[in-house]
Chains A and B, each alone.
Chain A
Amino acid sequence: MTVAPAKTITYREAMREAIREAMLADDRVFLMGEDVGAYGGCFGVSKGLLAEFGQDRIRDTPLSESAFVGAGIGAAMGGMRPIVEVMTVNFCLLALDQIMNNAATISHMSGGQFQIPLVIRMTTGAGRQVAAQHSHSLEGWLAHIPGLKLLAPATIDDARGMLGPALADPNLVLIFEHGSLYNLEGELLPEGGAVDIERAAIRRTGSDVTLIAYGGTVATALTAAEQLARIGVEAEVIDLRVLRPLDDETIIASVVRTQRAVVIDEGWRSGSLAAEVSSRIMEQAFYELDAPVARVCSAEVPMPYPRHLEQAALPQPETVVAEVRRMIGLAADE
């Protein structure tokens, strides 16, 4: 048997292949959102899909987030498997009524009579100098809501493999695509398929400290880990992957091994996902810790436009390294 060679592919292309595969596999699947058709997707994810699948299944919508997100919920209740693209998480606030008051409540409030097998994809994150209304990471707000599942693919494999299981899930699944990742390149096996959407992943093993990140901050954590290795500190890097429900088991097992944890979150610190993860470590592994859990989050400001201020507001590898050094009692010059 010949093994097909791995091919190099971008995160954007991986996401597109996932959508194509889902649409080919199940004629109940369709994609709708702003500019997903003729424009090819604001970030180019759905380029070419309109020509392949036609406008019944690749539906350009008006700028009506509440209506088309709610229509996705209704269509899911009506037996379809919609993929709704919301251009950025910042715009999903215009549809929050539908996400919160309908999608997250109807299963429970109806006593389990209805399911919402819907996937909503949206871009998140900063780093592209698009200022305070296009740059925020609001995953933490959405992760607050019972009834939702949240995924944050940070790798090519996850970009390719999370959509299928998300569509098969009978609940609303939100997929957050960090804007800095679309041009990420990597190898994907041709048969590269579904991945689990339940567990966090260890992206680097280490024994001295656990760096916990997701989405865009996974790269930040890995860079920090390399810098730490140069000074003899071995960091383990956990990619949360699933932001709700959180995979406590993987997190706690790692912290029990390393006895130190830093959570890296592009959201604001107050009331953040980082706060939730930190709390869980405190609740479940307090006596294993050598130091208080540290957090590296975005500065609590609306994201500014100029590059130097934007970078100053975002979690940086150097900040992570400094936190780890402080934690283990290394002076700045050691």
Chain B
Amino acid sequence: MSARAPLDRDHGLELLRQMLLVRRFEEKCVELYSATKIRGFMHLYIGEEAVAAGAMQALESDDAIVATYREHGHALVRGVSAASIMAEMYGKLEGCSRGRGGSMHLFDAATRFYGGNAIVGGGLPLAVGLALADKLRGRRQVTACFFGDGAVAEGEFHECMNLSALWDLPVLFLCENNLYAMGTRIDRYESQTDLALKAASYEMTAWSVDGMDVLAVEEATRRAAAEVRAGSRPCFLELRTYRFRAHSMYDPDIYRSKDEIEAWKQHDPITDLIERLRAGELIADSDVEELERSIAEEIDAAIAFAEAGTLEPVAELERFVYAEGASA
């Protein structure tokens, strides 16, 4: 096992910036939702930021990403601009999916971000196929597939574990275990709650990681991605995390105790990282203040961009039902 790289100031600040951006972006989304600027389903990643921020460090620009409907964080950390994501949430033409997908369906071909998939487990076969294409073309690329613990109960999960291991496909399965499939706790829907054990039964390397610790996530994901890339083999990480907010904006959150939520909030990945960076004397209070200031500016600019955006003309409603132009 490789030792964890010593944390330096610049990298620590970058991880902090990414997690803070996701946190503040979503906090603003809640306000905008209340103001009815954002509609539909919206699922917040608050509390789970360390997973996307840590995992994305291991990916190269030509790697592919498949995500879920709780994917604002993944898109932001991957480098899809806050402005184009916010415009998407507003349903504006300038959004990353032309305003047609909304919160759950962020797509961005430029960063190989293959969506926001809102069918639990539905992204896994896509990831397997993207990896199959890479393998058949001899490209040493990784497809990172994020999904939640709830997906593990879907048949598609088992089909894809088996197929990717059987065919030696370069998929990095990143299971964000926040302990709840919507409102049902994992021990009430899984006969085996050790998810890494389940994945390992398909003959792939699998282990569990503290998903609240961004450095632990980064270290594990780098190791797993290196294994996937070098061996053209799938790998599975269970990232143990927790969402601090309800499942969606419609969820009254009556199935968890306040004490349980508070206990997890004591392990806030952002405050934990700040404390660690401070303890190592790598950052000062002013660094955090500066980050907060620049992120607030970025989000304000994103909102202004979304507000100024245009609505897609109704005349274009049927565009792209079928692909336009010849096959690439």
Q: In the assembled complex, how far is the CB of residue A142 from the closest CB belonging to chain B, in whole angstroms?
A: 15
Measured between beta carbons, the chain A residues less than 8 angstroms from B134 are: 78
B128 at the interface (CB under 8 A from A): yes
B163 touches A62 (CB 8 A): yes
Q: Contacts A66-B156, A66-B159, A70-B156: A101 and B119 contacting too (C-beta < 8 A)?
A: yes
List CB contacts (< 8 Å) of B126-179 with chain A.
126-134, 136-137, 155-156, 159-160, 162-163, 166-167
Q: B107 to chain A: which residues have CB within 8 Å?
A: 106, 109-111, 113-114
CA distance A178 to B166 in the complex (A): 32
A84 closest partner in B (C-beta):
B129
A-B pair number, CB within 8 angstroms: 161
Q: Is the CB of B321 within 8 A of A147?
A: yes
Tell me, in angstroms, the Cα distance from A64 to B129 when the chains sit together.
13
CB distance from A162 to the nearest CB of B (A): 16
A267 at the interface (CB under 8 A from B): no
Closest residue to B119 on the A side, CB-wise?
A: A101
The stretch from A11-19, A120-128, A166-174 touching chain B is A166-174
Q: Which of B114, B156, B321 touches A108 (beta carbons < 8 Å)?
A: B321
Is A67 positioned at the interface, with any CB of B under 8 Å from its CB?
A: yes
- 1/0 contact string of B6-38 vs chain A (CB within 8 Å): 000000000000000000000000000000000
- Between A62, A71, A76, A149, the greatest number of chain B beta carbons within 10 A of the residue's beta carbon is seen for A71
Q: Mark A40-70, 1 if CB is under 8 A from B, else 0.
A: 0000000000000000100101101011111
Q: Nearest chain A CB to B67's CB is how many angstroms away?
A: 13
Question: Of all chain B residues, which has the CB nearest A63?
Answer: B159
A113 contacts B122, CB within 8 Å? Answer: no
In angstroms, Cα B310 to Cα A82, docked, is: 38
**Known pairs A106-B107, A110-B98, A111-B100 / 8 extra A-B pairs, C-beta < 8 Å:** A30-B136, A62-B166, A71-B132, A80-B133, A108-B320, A110-B115, A113-B109, A170-B322
Q: Show 22 residue pairs from A and B whose CB-CB distance is below 8 angstroms, ordered by the A residue.
A: A59-B167, A67-B159, A70-B122, A74-B130, A74-B132, A76-B133, A78-B64, A78-B133, A79-B133, A97-B122, A97-B156, A98-B125, A101-B119, A102-B119, A110-B101, A110-B107, A110-B109, A110-B115, A111-B95, A112-B319, A169-B327, A170-B323
Interchain residue pairs A-B with the least CB separation, the first 9: A74-B129, A70-B125, A111-B98, A78-B133, A67-B159, A64-B159, A110-B107, A170-B323, A71-B129
